[in-house]
């Protein structure tokens, strides 16, 4: 007969464990522990507690922040998962001093960090500066769309939500009618009474929830005066199209320094489009950098790159205002570059005349068309959406008899050609100037570096660390969570390239 080693589950084992020895120098948990204990100002939390004379002793914010950052770095976003880890995982036990905060304490701590999160983020940024991890010359901006703690099925216009409520109420009426008919016929196949009551109760709660939301909220109106989709669960979130499908979530922005891919500012925005996301991120980064000793004109002359989704008058104007050397291409920049001719989906330049085919005569302030006819300024100055708009148009007589009419006018029945653009204070076409800048030899050399700076940051956060969703609701709380994600990324950079 085979022999096996004897085992006994009833035996008692005493294992000597030194908590401090579990935090190995060079590891992420060691960096989290050391930074919070020695380099971060945790006094920002003291104003929240009033138990110095009476009341129960609270968990130290250092302990809570350590386990939260460590949990996030392991992909444990749920407070219940972090609570469990503090009971089962020796690394979490070491960071918490073998204390075991419950999930409600952890959740409340994270969601209430509105006034503390930015100072803590800046403390980490200061350490990055002191450890020479910031280059300060080249920045890249991008966003990643992460799901929110809200269902996209609860999204729609106010009219859509009213229809949804009415449909639920109609379904409840049908169920009640079917139940009455089943009771009369003594039909047991319709379902047990308890199941029917549960279903009706669930539907009633859904209808009441929508009705309550409709009474307390108005329609969301976008910049183009059109109604946007609202969400009953988290109205600050938005329905967004991503490469992973449509999600109800937030567009998490990050401005990244090129030297070691340190995030200098992050902000979660409930909007899928990036056409006006650059100003708040740049302003936030300026405040963060000022708090660590940088000047107000820190971004002057610095390079900033962003992808084509950021090509807008608002974003480019902000770059000009901050005197940033920005490189933001338009959506069709690859179709003008022959280097991309072999890629799938490449479409050559349109045969129709574009803005670039019209020559500007600065002396007369007129544009000259490919056929030599002039387009005169319609008005001296105009404002549209708060921005300077310039419009030029040709003569109907010139366009009517023009042999190039088919290549110039968009529609067959059009009478004349118009050119319009947003201008800066000097009258320069902001968008066209950026297009020309991207197509220079310098622009084609600088812009491709963007992908190697900012995309690995999102890969680290979303894939490697599995911080791929938000489980809090509302922009304020989601922004706290996003900055914590960014802190985890920056602390890892300090662990890898900074102190040991």
- DSSP letters along 10-43, please? T--------GGGGS-TTSHHHHHHHIIIIIS-GG
Can you tell me the distance from the alpha carbon of 93 to that of 80, in angstroms, rounded to the nearest whole number? 15
Biggest CA–CA distance in the chain, Å, is 108
Can you tell me the distance from the alpha carbon of 320 to that of 343, in angstroms, rounded to the nearest whole number? 33
Q: CA nearest 465: which of 488, 490, 493?
A: 488
pLDDT tens for residues 25-72? 999 999 999 999 999 999 999 888 888 888 888 999 999 999 999 999
Residues in the chain, pLDDT under 70: 183, 185-194, 335-350, 379-387, 424-427, 499-500
Note the pTM of the prediction, 2 decimals.
Answer: 0.84
Can you tell me the distance from the alpha carbon of 37 to that of 369, in angstroms, rounded to the nearest whole number? 68
- CATH number (3.30.420.10, 3.30.70.2740, 3.40.50.1360, 3.30.160.270) of 138-149+242-333+444-486 reads 3.30.420.10
Can you tell me the distance from the alpha carbon of 175 to that of 178, in angstroms, rounded to the nearest whole number? 5
What angle is formed at CA 477 by the lines to CA 476 and CA 479, rounded to 5 degrees?
A: 65
Phi-psi region for residue 99, left (φ > 0), alpha (ψ -120 to 50) or beta? beta
Can you tell me the distance from the alpha carbon of 117 to that of 223, in angstroms, rounded to the nearest whole number? 30
136 Cβ contact list (under 8 Å, min separation 6): 257, 259, 298, 302
Can you tell me the distance from the alpha carbon of 125 to that of 289, in angstroms, rounded to the nearest whole number? 8
Can you tell me the distance from the alpha carbon of 334 to that of 337, in angstroms, rounded to the nearest whole number? 5
DSSP tag of 429: B
Token readout for 81 is 């998962």
pLDDT tens for residues 126-162? 999 999 999 999 999 999 999 999 988 888 888 888 8
Q: CA nearest 327: which of 339, 315, 344, 340?
A: 315
Can you tell me the distance from the alpha carbon of 212 to that of 226, in angstroms, rounded to the nearest whole number? 24
Q: Among positive and negative, which fits the CA dihedral 67, 72, 75, 81?
A: positive
Q: CA nearest 375: which of 350, 352, 357?
A: 357
β partners of residue 254: 142, 266
In 60-192, alpha helices (H): 61-73, 79-88, 90-95, 103-111, 117-130, 158-185
Contact in structure between 344 and 338 (CB atoms under 8 Å): no
Contact in structure between 364 and 358 (CB atoms under 8 Å): no
Q: CA nearest 73: which of 455, 456, 480, 460?
A: 460
Contact in structure between 77 and 84 (CB atoms under 8 Å): no
Query: What DSSP string runs through 138-157?
Result: EEEEEEEEEE-SS-GGGEE-
Exposure pattern of 477-494 as b/e (b: 16+ CB <10 Å)?
bbbbbbbbbbbbbbbbbb
- Secondary structure element (H or E) that encloses residue 137, with its range: none
In 356-403, alpha helices (H): 396-400
């Amino acid at each position: 007969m085979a022999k096996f080693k004897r085992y006994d589950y009833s035996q008692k084992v005493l294992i000597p464990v030194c908590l401090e020895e579990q935090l190995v120098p060079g590891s992420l948990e060691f960096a989290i522990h050391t930074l919070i204990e020695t380099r971060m100002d945790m006094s920002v939390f003291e104003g929240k507690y009033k138990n110095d004379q009476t009341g129960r002793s609270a968990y130290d914010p250092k302990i809570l922040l350590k386990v939260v950052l460590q949990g996030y770095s392991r992909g444990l976003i749920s407070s219940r998962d972090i609570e469990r880890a503090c009971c089962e995982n020796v690394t979490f036990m070491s960071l918490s001093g073998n204390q075991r905060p419950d999930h409600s304490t952890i959740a409340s701590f994270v969601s209430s960090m509105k006034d503390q999160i930015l100072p803590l983020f800046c403390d980490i940024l200061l350490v990055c500066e002191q450890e020479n991890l910031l280059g300060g010359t080249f920045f890249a901006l991008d966003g990643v769309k992460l799901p929110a703690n809200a269902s996209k099925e609860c999204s729609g216009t106010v009219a859509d939500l009213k229809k949804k409520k009415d449909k639920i109420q109609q379904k409840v009426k049908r169920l009640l009618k079917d139940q009455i008919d089943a009771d009369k016929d003594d039909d047991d196949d319709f379902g047990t009474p308890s199941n029917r009551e549960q279903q009706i109760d669930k539907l009633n709660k859904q209808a009441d929830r929508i009705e309550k939301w409709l009474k307390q909220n108005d329609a969301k109106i976008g910049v183009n005066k059109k109604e946007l989709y609202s969400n009953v669960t988290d109205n600050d979130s938005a329905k967004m199209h991503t490469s992973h499908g449509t999600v109800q979530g937030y567009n998490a922005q990050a401005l990244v320094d090129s030297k070691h891919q340190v995030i200098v500012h992050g902000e979660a925005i409930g909007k899928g489009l990036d056409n006006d996301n650059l100003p708040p991120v740049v302003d936030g980064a300026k405040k963060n950098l000022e708090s660590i000793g940088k000047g107000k004109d820190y971004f002057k002359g610095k390079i900033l790159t962003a992808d084509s989704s950021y090509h807008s008058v608002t974003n480019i104007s902000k770059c000009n205002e901050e005197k940033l050397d920005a490189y933001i291409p338009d959506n069709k920049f690859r179709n003008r570059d022959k280097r991309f001719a072999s890629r799938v989906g490449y479409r050559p330049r349109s045969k129709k005349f574009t803005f670039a085919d019209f020559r500007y005569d600065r002396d007369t302030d007129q544009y000259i068309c490919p056929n030599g006819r002039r387009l005169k300024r319609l008005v001296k100055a105009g404002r549209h959406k708060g921005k300077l708009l310039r419009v030029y148009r040709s003569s109907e007589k010139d366009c009517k008899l023009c042999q190039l009419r088919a290549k110039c006018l968009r529609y067959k029945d059009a009478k004349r050609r118009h050119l319009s653009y947003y201008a800066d204070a000097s009258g320069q076409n902001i968008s066209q100037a950026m297009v020309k800048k991207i197509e220079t030899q310098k622009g084609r050399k600088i812009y491709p570096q963007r992908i190697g700076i900012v995309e690995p940051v999102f890969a680290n956060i979303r894939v490697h660390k599995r911080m791929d969703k938000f489980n809090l609701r509302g922009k304020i709380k989601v922004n706290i969570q996003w900055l914590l994600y960014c802190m985890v990324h920056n602390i890892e950079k300090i662990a890898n390239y900074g102190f040991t």
